[in-house]
Chains A and B, each alone.
Chain A
Amino acid sequence: MIPASFDYVRPSTVDEAVQALASAGEDAKVIAGGQSLLPVLRMRLAAPTTLIDLGRVAELRGVREEGDELVIGAMTTHYDVQRDALIASHAALLKEATDTVADPQIRHRGTLGGAIAHADPAGDLLAPVLALDASLVLAGPSGRRTVPAAEFFQDLFTTALAADELLVEVRVPKHTGWRAHYEKFNRVAQAWSMVAVAVTVRTEAGVIEEARVALTNMGSTPVRASGVEAALVGVQASADSIAAAASHAAEGTNPPVDSNADVEYRRHLAQVLTGRAIAAAAGA
């Protein structure tokens, strides 16, 4: 299908992009890898007047260290995230989740920042970003601001981004040596997650010292499973202790209903998958 016509702007710096966004007005849309936006345009579910393409903004690509944080450019592709040594060492959970995203073609086009800004609650990268206590750097006409992930995701496809702002960086506190697992459940390999669970833990001598757990598609935003995290701290990883912790997984969730899963089933899945994710991450 053919999208409605639109103006197209391709800036080469963040400043140019911010300016372009400001001058394009309310009906402009920023395009990153286009893996979510293009289908929407082609089905004419959206008809922006201007597309601002970040594909040539070189400063938005790549991963670097800054003290205790990794700084990941918003336009870093999933493929690059998968292969990045810093991410593998300091944010293994992000790599684990990225490995499950769609297929190789999409992972070569799609970007971390694009997925986060799109804020599809069934998207696989929101829960890891939330679990890792990442913060998002937004650039607008009046400069940059930093928003914690927990405040960034506000609702279905809705974030803290103002209409004149761009997501430019994802800053992830280093979780060096933490083990991680992303347990994804879908009906076919290329379908969205019905439910998925992101777990990363720091263990010492078989005891879980710290745990971060977040859920995909169990609400209109990614959900932090705080009850599970609390139950895991100081626990020797075993089938029983994991099951006890996982039983808290669905607490406080408000899962969506669709033909693949009703509320009862999604809550049940969240518990089962949480248990499996913890077991895989903690090596139990």
Chain B
Amino acid sequence: MTATIEPEVGKSRRRKEDERLITGRTRWTDNIALPGLLHMAVLRSPFAHAKIVSIDTSAAKGASGVVAVYTAKDLDPDGSIGMPCAWPITPDMKAPRRPVLAADTVNFAGEGVAVVVARTSAEAHDALEEIDVEYDELPVVLDMEAAIADGAALVHEDLGTNTSAVWKFDSAEAGTGGNVEDAISSSEVVLKRRFRQQRLVPAFMEPRACVVDPTSTQITMWSATQVPHILRVMSALTLGIPEHKLRVIAPDVGGGFGGKIGVLPEEMMSLLVAQKLGKPVKWNETRSETMLAAHHGRDQIQDITITSTRDGQVTGLKVELLANLGAYNGLVGPGVPILGAFMFNAIYKIPAYHFACTNVYTTTTLTDAYRGAGRPEATFAIERIMDELAVELGMDPMELREKNWIKHEEFPFTTVCGLTYDSGNYEAATEKAKQLFDYDGLRAEQDRRRKAGDKVQLGIGISTFTEMCGLAPSRVLGSLDYGAGGWEYASIRMLPTGKVEVTTGASAHGQGHETAWSQIVADQLGVAFEDVEILHGDTQSSHKGMDTYGSRSLVVGGIAVIKAAEKVVAKAKPIAAHLLECAEDDLEFANGKFTVKGTDTSTGIGDIALAVFAAHNLPDGIEPSLDSDATFDPENFSFPHGTHLCAAEVDTETGRIKLRSYVCVDDVGVAVNPLIVEGQVHGGLAQGIAQALFEGTEHDDSGTLTTGTFADYLLPSAADLPSFTTDRTETPATSNPLGAKGVGEAGTIASTPAVVNAVIDAVRQFGVNDIEMPLTPMRVWHAIQHGTTDAGGPGRDEAGGGLGSIDATGGAQ
């Protein structure tokens, strides 16, 4: 009998990748230097919408150090190259061609019009100033409602409309629930609200960059991307490069948050330029370019109608969205709102549901995935309107939620959208959160401050969220017209010395895969944590994969690792039996050893690896290899959930918000590494709170981004956030052998409505029932000042939004 080794899964190990990431002693794309490397710089349109009359590159071509200057006519003379979109959400979705460089028209400020190639980056940037472009300005299209109105100026004249697609789900039509119009006409309470999801910048730490080396048999492209495998396939499909002639490497990547999920014009440009010149080229963007030209996130107008009985039983939910795509379809941009379509009903048993989303083109930067992608928007809308409904009904907002949520004994539960939630325990997470938060004590303090007319008022915000992640079952993606599957790949190589190399198709860019995967493999094979190396982000070593986004890496890619490990053990077993001269059935495998049952005769997996390497003494017909791989396609999404509680102090004299405390109890199932989970939750909370309070792009009337630097686009630092109180409940997922659920996006999805609900709760006494995000001190102050008199709803202090509440009286019948 072997002693039980303490399992690795569940240990809060510090991340093995952090030393090199924190010290910077690693390889980022911009660190890569190759012999003869040339540098690219992209000239970008200052106008949101304009005809290109002429481009004069002659002076730039003669500038110091310049090797070449290209425009669309040089790189794509036929005008045939279009950037890919992998998610045509409807058969009739519009698909305007997004060129590598704009040829005749620029459709957003920041779109590339020319590229300079020079010996140094400085010379390339100097030469940009020598390019003379004559523009003829066209009317800009900025406001979504105006864009879809009759007679609107068009982003793409030839499409005849700014509407890209209208996507609908209706529970009555799908047979998954009732008819929401019936609910609206027959319910005792009907409440309608409009919310805006402002546009955000996915502010990853490392700007985007790529290097292309065309000088060997395969073209090699390094890119600061989340999706090296997708990038390889899409580059082949977009440019006609034979797929086997292209190797893509994502070296260490400094964050993405969805912002590096795209396939970029600059990447295609680099491939074209490198091949044209026969020399390696590098493109490395400035932060200003990131702000302007990298895709943005969110940007929806949400019209939400909820119906209920007078005693608080929700009877229906109707969601009508306008989603701003920007000027073109991003790689998955059109599908981002659809990822939210099945989450507006959240944790609640809602009998009738209707969702309709209109995707709209505007002359703005593209939108695409940003941490949570569709689900934060959905969670915000439902959690905000549950608070509004509670006020309308005169109920405690937690009581209303409890009355409507799925009870723990009701799992698995099939929702009004037809999704089956495998597991969850909303009661347990909520109970724990309330205790940690001192919910009752804070309510009492809130009451005291209100009665005393304290200058600082207290509000309490709730978000009892769930989300669908672990993208995704391939068949579901197929039913949603997504262009690829949702499986993930892993392989395990048993080295002769007993060490283990693991390749994964997930592509870490800060998540900690190397640590977590090592813990999983250590348990599966009974080897030491330190003896496992995780290889990723290179299509040569980990040749197959669907990459990292949608909180999928662990619950899809991690399971592929387990499946591959199981195959290693299965392959080792006949060899172990041969070496120990016993029947396979007499063997048991535990802690890295095959033991003859009932004896202390055993052989270790490392010994077998060495025996396989020598191959001197293997059973007849056995392949001398333990190496194995697996491709795992999940049967279901994973559904993490949790209860987030926020206490916000509002200084009524200045409108300043101070988060007094933030408690979250998340249920992400079994945690492979609780420290990594904690880190993901903290980062997620920071980004979700930032949407509520700090971040948001703004454009002037000409479509110029006026929040183009971090001086204007405000990111919080630790000084601006409270000390989070985090805890977990652990209801294992039943859809995967680890029992794990995704955690990468949970904090972001959950926290935004908790914060806004808390602020509204603090100032509702002044007649305020909504404030547009971000909740700037000015907006809060104006809301307090005018809330009692402005029947249209407060918080509308700036032009161009169309927000706040459209129905301050609640629309009750």
**A1-B125, A187-B776, A261-B778 are known contacts. Are A43 and B716 too (CB-CB below 8 A)?**
no
Decide yes or no whether A38 CB sits under 8 A from chain B. no
Which residues of B lie under 8 Å from residue A163 when comparing CB positions?
A: none
Which of A2, A187, A189 interacts with B777 by CB under 8 Å? A187
Decide yes or no whether B715 CB sits under 8 A from chain A. yes
Shortest 6 CB-CB contacts between residues of A and residues of B: A189-B719, A1-B286, A2-B122, A265-B778, A188-B720, A272-B653
Decide yes or no whether B288 CB sits under 8 A from chain A. yes
Bound form: Cα–Cα A2–B286 in Å: 9
Interface bin, chain B: 20 to 34
Q: Mark B217-258, 1 if CB is under 8 A from A, else 0.
A: 000000000000000000000000000000000000000000
Distance from B652 Cβ to chain A, minimum over Cβ atoms (Å): 10
Decide yes or no whether A5 CB sits under 8 A from chain B. yes
**A1-B286, A259-B798 are known contacts. Are A188 and B694 too (CB-CB below 8 A)?**
yes
Which of B129, B709, B712, B778 interacts with A262 by CB under 8 Å? B778
Decide yes or no whether B711 CB sits under 8 A from chain A. yes
Decide yes or no whether B303 CB sits under 8 A from chain A. no
Bound form: Cα–Cα A43–B711 in Å: 13
Decide yes or no whether B539 CB sits under 8 A from chain A. no
Bound form: Cα–Cα A189–B776 in Å: 14
List 5 other contacts, CB 8 Å, given A259-B698, A268-B781: A39-B709, A44-B125, A189-B717, A190-B717, A191-B714
Distance from A40 Cβ to chain B, minimum over Cβ atoms (Å): 11
Is the beta-carbon distance between A5 and B653 smaller than 8 angstroms?
A: no
Decide yes or no whether A269 CB sits under 8 A from chain B. yes
Is the beta-carbon distance between B711 and A191 smaller than 8 angstroms?
A: yes
Bound form: Cα–Cα A39–B286 in Å: 12
Distance from A18 Cβ to chain B, minimum over Cβ atoms (Å): 30
Is the beta-carbon distance between A185 and B654 smaller than 8 angstroms?
A: yes
Q: Mark A184-209, 1 if CB is under 8 A from B, else 0.
A: 01011111101000000000000000
Decide yes or no whether B121 CB sits under 8 A from chain A. yes
Distance from B84 Cβ to chain A, minimum over Cβ atoms (Å): 29
Is the beta-carbon distance between B776 and A260 smaller than 8 angstroms?
A: yes
Is the beta-carbon distance between B122 and A43 smaller than 8 angstroms?
A: no
8 A-B interface contacts by CB (under 8 A): A2-B121, A5-B126, A188-B719, A192-B711, A259-B707, A259-B776, A265-B781, A269-B654
Which residues of B lie under 8 Å from residue A192 when comparing CB positions?
A: 711
Which residues of B lie under 8 Å from residue A5 when comparing CB positions?
A: 122, 126
Which residues of A lie under 8 Å from residue B797 when comparing CB positions?
A: 262
Distance from A159 Cβ to chain B, minimum over Cβ atoms (Å): 21
Q: Mark A249-284, 1 if CB is under 8 A from B, else 0.
A: 000000000011110010011001100000000000
Bound form: Cα–Cα A272–B125 in Å: 47
Which residues of B lie under 8 Å from residue A194 when comparing CB positions?
A: 777
Decide yes or no whether A4 CB sits under 8 A from chain B. yes
Distance from A218 Cβ to chain B, minimum over Cβ atoms (Å): 15
Question: Which partner residue on chain B sits nearest A272 by CB separation?
Answer: B653
**A1-B125, A4-B126, A259-B798 are known contacts. Are A189 and B720 too (CB-CB below 8 A)?**
yes
Decide yes or no whether B782 CB sits under 8 A from chain A. yes
Question: Which partner residue on chain B sits nearest A275 by CB separation?
Answer: B653
Distance from A105 Cβ to chain B, minimum over Cβ atoms (Å): 12
Among A2, A262, A272: residue with most chain B CB under 10 A? A2
Bound form: Cα–Cα A261–B130 in Å: 38
Q: Mark A221-262, 1 if CB is under 8 A from B, else 0.
A: 000000000000000000000000000000000000001111
Decide yes or no whether B497 CB sits under 8 A from chain A. no
Interface size on A, residues (CB 8 A): 24
Bound form: Cα–Cα A261–B797 in Å: 10
Q: Which of B698-719 contact A (CB under 8 A)?
A: 698, 706-707, 709, 711-712, 714-717, 719
Dominant SS among interface residues on chain B: loop
Which residues of B lie under 8 Å from residue A187 when comparing CB positions?
A: 694, 714, 776-777
Query: Which residues from chain B sit less than 8 Å from chain A, CB to CB?
Result: 121-122, 125-126, 129, 286-288, 653-656, 694, 698, 706-707, 709, 711-712, 714-717, 719-720, 776-778, 781-782, 797-798
Bound form: Cα–Cα A154–B206 in Å: 40
Which residues of B lie under 8 Å from residue A43 when comparing CB positions?
A: 288, 709
Q: Mark A65-100, 1 if CB is under 8 A from B, else 0.
A: 000000000000000000000000000000000000
Question: Which partner residue on chain A sits nearest B656 by CB separation?
Answer: A185
Is the beta-carbon distance between B778 and A272 smaller than 8 angstroms?
A: no
Among B129, B654, B720: residue with most chain A CB under 10 A? B654
Which residues of A lie under 8 Å from residue B287 when comparing CB positions?
A: 1
Which of A190, A191, A260, A272 interacts with B654 by CB under 8 Å? A272
Which residues of A lie under 8 Å from residue B129 when comparing CB positions?
A: 4, 44
Bound form: Cα–Cα A188–B657 in Å: 11
Which of A4, A188, A260, A272 interacts with B717 by CB under 8 Å? A188
Is the beta-carbon distance between A265 and B122 smaller than 8 angstroms?
A: no
Which residues of A lie under 8 Å from residue B288 when comparing CB positions?
A: 1, 43
Bound form: Cα–Cα A190–B782 in Å: 24
Distance from B397 Cβ to chain A, minimum over Cβ atoms (Å): 28
Which residues of A lie under 8 Å from residue B126 when comparing CB positions?
A: 4-5
Is the beta-carbon distance between B716 and A188 smaller than 8 angstroms?
A: yes
Q: Mark A23-62, 1 if CB is under 8 A from B, else 0.
A: 0000000000000000100011000000000000000000
Distance from A3 Cβ to chain B, minimum over Cβ atoms (Å): 8
Bound form: Cα–Cα A269–B785 in Å: 13
Distance from A135 Cβ to chain B, minimum over Cβ atoms (Å): 31
Distance from B67 Cβ to chain A, minimum over Cβ atoms (Å): 17
Bound form: Cα–Cα A268–B652 in Å: 12
Is the beta-carbon distance between A188 and B653 smaller than 8 angstroms?
A: no
Which of B698, B714, B781, B798 interacts with A188 by CB under 8 Å? B714
Which residues of A lie under 8 Å from residue B656 when comparing CB positions?
A: 185
Bound form: Cα–Cα A3–B287 in Å: 14
Bound form: Cα–Cα A5–B129 in Å: 13
Bound form: Cα–Cα A192–B710 in Å: 11
Q: Which of A1-19 contact B (CB under 8 A)?
A: 1-2, 4-5
Among B125, B655, B715, B778: residue with most chain A CB under 10 A? B778
Which residues of B lie under 8 Å from residue A265 when comparing CB positions?
A: 655, 778, 781-782
Question: Which partner residue on chain A sits nearest B696 by CB separation?
Answer: A259
Bound form: Cα–Cα A185–B287 in Å: 27
Q: Which of A78-134 contact B (CB under 8 A)?
A: none
Question: Which partner residue on chain A sits nearest B694 by CB separation?
Answer: A188
Bound form: Cα–Cα A192–B494 in Å: 56
Which residues of A lie under 8 Å from residue B720 when comparing CB positions?
A: 188-189
Bound form: Cα–Cα A269–B637 in Å: 49
Bound form: Cα–Cα A5–B120 in Å: 13
Distance from A186 Cβ to chain B, minimum over Cβ atoms (Å): 9
Is the beta-carbon distance between B715 and A188 smaller than 8 angstroms?
A: yes
Distance from A62 Cβ to chain B, minimum over Cβ atoms (Å): 30
Bound form: Cα–Cα A273–B556 in Å: 54
Bound form: Cα–Cα A194–B781 in Å: 14
Bound form: Cα–Cα A44–B286 in Å: 12
Bound form: Cα–Cα A236–B104 in Å: 72
